[in-house]
Amino acid sequence: MFGGNRAMASFSVDNIEEAEEFYGGTLGVRVEGESGALFLHLNGGYDVLIYSKPDHIPASFTILNFVVEDIDEAVDGLLERGVRFLRFDDLGTDERGIVRGPEREIAWFVDPAGNNLSVVQFKSPLGADRGS
């Protein structure tokens, strides 16, 4: 039914101004504000809508994965910008917060509203194509 339609993901934050600074300034994503909402313009023509919600509850799952070519470089760059990475002992994160697996390497962090995000490096061409 919707195979030919464009779709857009969305999620909430508790402070749209903080979100704009974080996504636009810290992460370097092209952002555009409109009517109290924020659009993230991602590579490949994908847009994500961020909206303010007074009773926001942070997502307990990863809402956005940024596909990178070099996870160590991405983590270093984010650390320099003050981003802190989450560590999960049960997943075997290393001292920098990276889980290194045979198919992908991934590191999680949160936005100012507490939503989970990640940077991920796929080791196969099939996985790498998913982020372009």
Report residue 17's pLDDT band, with 50, 70 and 90 as the boundaries.
very high
User: Is residue 74 predicted with pLDDT exceeding 90?
Assistant: yes
Identify the pLDDT of residue 129: 56
Per the structure, the count of domains in the chain is 1
Output the average pLDDT for the chain. 91
Contacts of 17 (CB under 8 A, 6+ apart): none
- Does 1 map to a domain? no
Domain containing 112: what range? 9-129
pLDDT at 70: 96
pLDDT digits (tens, 9 = 90+) for 104-124: 999 999 999 999 999 999 987
Has residue 3 been placed in a domain?
Answer: no
Is residue 78 in some structural domain?
A: yes
User: In the 8-state DSSP scheme, what is residue 131?
Assistant: T
Residue 4 located in a structural domain: no
